[in-house]
A and B are shown apart, each in its own frame.
Chain A
Amino acid sequence: DAGVTQSPTHLIKTRGQQVTLRCSPKSGHDTVSWYQQALGQGPQFIFQYYEEEERQRGNFPDRFSGHQFPNYSSELNVNALLLGDSALYLCASSWGGSGGTGELFFGEGSRLTVL
């Protein structure tokens, strides 16, 4: 049973560029959440997708956008990259959107470096 898979694992971009990160949830999960984790910090919630719609959004600018596909996979897009966007981007999947134990299964992350 494959867990949460993310791609790419590492990438380097320059300021002003755009990036797309991809995530496939754990088998049986229908909800995908994205988190940003800066070095030495805890993960920060970006948004959650459920039934192909953005269900909840954290305190991130509109430069951060996402999408969920019918097969529950998801993309995170970041436009007009800033140096401060350098971080580990974690995708987490769960079942049922909200409620339950809320156990999130995290992927290994995509490490983005903005130069």
Chain B
Amino acid sequence: GQNIDQPTEMTATEGAIVQINCTYQTSGFNGLFWYQQHAGEAPTFLSYNVLDGLEEKGRFSSFLSRSKGYSYLLLKELQMKDSASYLCAIRNQAGTALIFGKGTTLSVSS
């Protein structure tokens, strides 16, 4: 089976850096994804990791350690618009489905 854990809520201030952790257990690993979802909107793709290491994309970076079953999403220079739910997901072995965690609600204040 597969299990994904991430914190339920986090708070931060504008301009700060925040790290959202995700730990997972899976019988077959086929990539890890991060999605952003604003309230009442569709999830949007942020990042994809299949090999160990850091992937950087602008203010957002994602890290993966397959041996530890661990990933994090790093958000720099936080803005109010970054207030959203951040979803960690792993792809099943067949590559046909994403298994999502419950999401981390990030609140950014001024």
Hey, which bits of chain A sit against chain B, CB under 8 A? 4, 33, 35, 40-45, 48, 55-56, 58, 90, 97-99, 101-109
Contacts and interface: CB of A to CB of B under 8 A. Distances in A.
Interface residues of B, number: 23
A86 to B, nearest CB: 16
B45 A98 contact: no
Interface of B: 4, 31, 33, 41-45, 48, 87, 89, 91-92, 94-103
Contacts of A104: 43, 45, 98
Contact of B43 (A40, A56, A106): A106
Given A48-B96, A101-B48, A106-B42, 4 more contacts: A35-B100, A42-B4, A102-B33, A102-B48
Contacts of A4: 42
B98 A98 contact: no
A99 B97 CA distance: 10
29 contacts: A4-B42, A33-B96, A33-B97, A42-B4, A42-B89, A42-B103, A43-B87, A43-B98, A45-B98, A48-B97, A55-B96, A56-B92, A56-B97, A97-B95, A98-B94, A98-B95, A99-B95, A101-B31, A101-B48, A102-B31, A102-B33, A102-B48, A102-B95, A102-B98, A104-B45, A105-B45, A106-B42, A106-B44, A108-B41
